[in-house]
Structure 1
Amino acid sequence: MRTSRIVLTVAAAAALGLSACSSPTSEEKTASACAAVTALQGAVQQASELTVDSSVEEAKAAKKALTDASSSLDQALAAVAADRAKAVTDAKDKLVESLGDVEKDASLKDAAASLQEEATTLRAAVQSAGDSISCSS
């Protein structure tokens, strides 16, 4: 039945999150978030298929699948957002540090190219932070 497929999808998404010993990359976190979106969509579908003939156990299973999938998605999205926030902070810190170096050296001309590059990196990080994740279906 669909219940077992949903449970397997949720379990697979959870396993993705637990399988890596090292810190997952941004791409892996996005993939995990996309898997969690798919799992939640499946759980919603499972719940929408309940009828007056469904058992209490089927309703409980649907509720658990929704709760678990929603929690997994919340965690996955938080991890993706944390990466984006860190990228913005790191890029900002690097630009601020370089601007501090300019103050010490009093030569903006010498640092202009580096500052432009770091400003571009910061702009890209801010843009990425504002974009929603993109999952291919």
Structure 2
Amino acid sequence: TIQAQIMDLLLALQKEQDMGLVLITHDLAVVAETAQRVCVMYAGQAVEVGQVPQLFDIPAHPYSEALLKAIPEHSLGAARLSTLPGIVPGRYDRPQGCLLSPRCPYVQDNCRAQRPTLDPKSNSLARCVYPLNQEVA
């Protein structure tokens, strides 16, 4: 309840002062309830940027998808929460290609070879060689 009171206060100040509000959190429920846009980070790097409803409904980056699958409400009846194998790379042990490639369930050879950029052509910006919500040509 304290968290809800603080969030209410911050949102009221935001409206009253007509200002922006940047929240840094691991709590996806807070993001879903308060944010308009979200930036998902992995290993210190922005991997997906988009509007909250679209990103929550159709994530483009595998890490965004993994975060959403790990929400307890999405795993009702499962023995364990969904997880990604492995660990987040450290500052000095980064893979050559995509930072998520050692842990990604969709990894392909191109993912290991090239470091992707955020793609401004997609509806939801995702740092992924093969974004999940994109048509394959």
TM-score greater than 0.5 by the shorter chain: no
Which structure carries more relative contact order (alpha carbon 8 Å, separation 6+)? 1
Query: Which structure has more strand as a fraction of its residues?
Result: 2
Question: TM-score w.r.t. structure 2 length?
Answer: 0.21
